[in-house]
Amino acid sequence: MLAGSEKKVSGSTYKGVTLMQEVLQYLKKHGQRLDSEIAADTGIPIEQVRRDISALSALGEITTCSVTRFNGDERFEGTQCRPASFIPPKSPGRKPAAHAKVTV
């Protein structure tokens, strides 16, 4: 993350890259994330992140779903997104062996 003086968001561009491209690049690098996590990590205002998420979803670049989480009695709603072609890595540990096909 950049220092506060270096990170200035003006209009819809940031360091010559559109904010929508910045969100897409962030998701490609980090995988599945919540809209609030994207905003916190990139420094882009949450309202702009949500607009960019909607636009990227309409273009088919990302997949989104609404989530509701609870922390005790506190309710938290957000949008979870991931790149459209993102396949999560396999979980660690042993995997069951594949069964061999028997031909007769």
Of 9 and 27, more confident: 27
pTM metric for this prediction: 0.65
All residues at 6 or more sequence positions from 80 whose CB lies less than 8 Å from its CB, including other chains: 32, 33, 34, 35, 64, 65, 66, 67
pLDDT of residue 99: 67
Rounded Cα gap, residues 22 and 20, in angstroms: 5
Domains of the chain (ranges; CATH) run 13-82 (1.10.10.10)
User: Per-residue pLDDT for 102 more than 50?
Assistant: yes
pLDDT of residue 17: 57
Structure tokens at 40: 């916190």
Q: Give 56-97 pLDDT, tens digit per residue.
A: 999 999 999 999 989 899 998 999 999 987 666 777 877 776
User: Per-residue pLDDT for 7 more than 50?
Assistant: no
